[in-house]
Amino acid sequence: MRIDGLQYANWSEKIFRQMREGNVDAVHVTIAYHETFRETVLNFEQWNRWFEMYPDLIMKGQWASDIDVARETGRTAIFFGFQNPSPIEDDIGLVEILHTLGARFMQLTYNNQSLLATGCYEAEDAGITRMGRQVIKEMNRVGLVVDMSHSADRSTIEAAEISERPIAITHANPHVWQPALRNKKDDVIRAVTENGGMLGFSLYPHHLKGKSDCSLTDFCQMIADTADRFGVAHLGIGTDLCQDQPDSIVEWMRTGRWSKEIDFGEGSAAAPGFPPMPPWFQDNRHFGNIEQGLREVGMNDDEVAAIMGGNWYRFFSENFGPSAP
């Protein structure tokens, strides 16, 4: 089983076919960065058109059981998430409505301070806000997973402690391996995993050791070392694959409408676009390279299967539905 914890591509039939060539069973896709509720609904509509146009390649995913259907029918299940709480605006009632539409993950921040928490680019981390506490409670109730991939340290630790259900860091790497504002320090990873949460390892080049030149062995050894420290059961892949996007979209991802200046992103001032992917992972056809790399650094078949998809499958099955009354 192969499940990717995060992608944001310029979606096309080509990419959907590459998913099938790579035997990717499920992908969590970002359908909102800075959109309002209404703008996010338009993105749901666009995906409904793709499901109608390519029914032999992709299908809408809402529950872990949909991954089973996808595998049986040779398709990829698409699960939806937001990298910012902007789709709920300042209305907690929209949490349930968006879950009903199909949302399954929502980041509490995207780099900046939000109404809910502090982003990893802010100088001061005030932690989870009053509204954030209420929204986490509501997300727990309906089955919308708290994602802290772009959040600051204190906010992430507090979210893991406040949430009554496991949370996720869908796409990041250990800070000890590659220092970067968005990579996670050990105390942050520990807070998430000790509460049953998940860490998805990212292939975003600025968060890799050696950036675009990171070797497959270095990446896989980092995964093995993290498994030794925090347990293999809480780890997966979240590539952060941003395939075929023009530089204008990358700039919009980073700045939305909040700034007149271009935010080049961490470590990328000389290159405003998306950096080249490592040669051993260019697109969805290359998940097999990661599998082989994990075996070559000494992980056994059960550990490899857990990281490539089994752990995400379990997490989906336990956290996408409503909490017990």
pTM above 0.85, yes or no: yes
Q: What is the mean pLDDT of residues 321-325?
A: 85
Within-domain flag for 324: no
Residue 169 backbone dihedrals phi, psi, to 5 degrees: -115, 95
Q: Residue 120 is part of which domain span?
A: 3-319
**Which tokens is 165 given?**
């259900």
Binned at pLDDT 50, 70 and 90, residue 261 comes out as: confident
Residue 29's CATH number: 3.20.20.140
Query: pLDDT tens across 155-194, in order?
Result: 999 999 999 999 999 999 999 999 999 999 999 999 999 9
Q: Does the residue 166 lie in any domain?
A: yes
Reply yes or no on whether the pLDDT at 125 is more than 80.
yes
pLDDT in the model for residue 254 = 81
DSSP letter, residue 32: E
181 is a domain residue:
yes
Beta carbons of 119 and 112 less than 8 angstroms apart: yes
Residue 160 counted as domain residue: yes
Residue 197 has pLDDT above 80, yes or no: yes
Residue 170 lies in a domain: yes
pLDDT in tens, 40-97: 999 999 999 999 999 999 999 999 999 999 999 999 999 999 999 999 999 999 999 9
Which comes out higher in pLDDT, residue 206 or 222? 222
- Confidence band for 267, pLDDT divided at 50, 70 and 90: very low
In a domain, residue 325? The reply is no
Backbone torsions φ then ψ of 119, nearest 5 degrees: -85, 160
Q: Round to whole Å and give the CA distance between 210 and 276.
A: 12
293 sits in which H/E element = helix 287-296
Tell me how long the chain is.
325
Give domain status of residue 152, yes or no: yes
Residue-wise burial string across 271-295, b where 16 or more C-beta atoms lie within 10 A, e elsewhere: eebbbebbebbebbbbbebbbebbe
What is the four-CA torsion angle of 283, 287, 290, 291, rounded to 10 degrees? -170
Q: Name residues whose C-beta falls within 8 Å of residue 17's C-beta, 6 or more positions apart in sequence.
A: 57
CA 272 to chain centre: 22
Q: Is residue 269 predicted with pLDDT exceeding 50?
A: no
Has residue 270 got a pLDDT over 50?
no
Please, are residues 99 and 80 in contact by the beta-carbon 8 Å criterion? no
Residue 132, pLDDT > 80, answer yes
Q: What three-state secondary structure class fits 241?
A: strand
Q: Using CA atoms, how far apart are residues 112 and 255, in angstroms rounded to an integer?
A: 10
Lowest mean pLDDT among 72-86, 200-214, 243-257, 311-325: 243-257
Residue 13 lies in a domain: yes
Residue reference for tokens 């292939």: 203
Region 268-297: what's the mean pLDDT? 88
Q: Are 67 and 26 in contact (CB under 8 A)?
A: yes
Distance CA 105, CA 81 (A): 4
Neighbours of 36 (CB within 10 A): 13
Kindly report which listed range (26-40, 198-212, 270-284) carries the lowest average pLDDT score. 270-284
The whole-number pLDDT of residue 271 equals: 54
Return d(Cα 277, Cα 200) in angstroms, integer.
Answer: 17
State pLDDT tens for residues 210-227. 999 999 999 999 999 999
Instruction: Please report, for residues 189, 194, 286, 324, 325, the alpha-carbon distance to residue 141 in angstroms, rounded to integers and kept in the order given.
Output: 24, 21, 37, 8, 9
Which residue has better confidence, 272 or 235? 235
* Rounded mean pLDDT, 195-202: 98
What's the total number of domains in the chain?
1
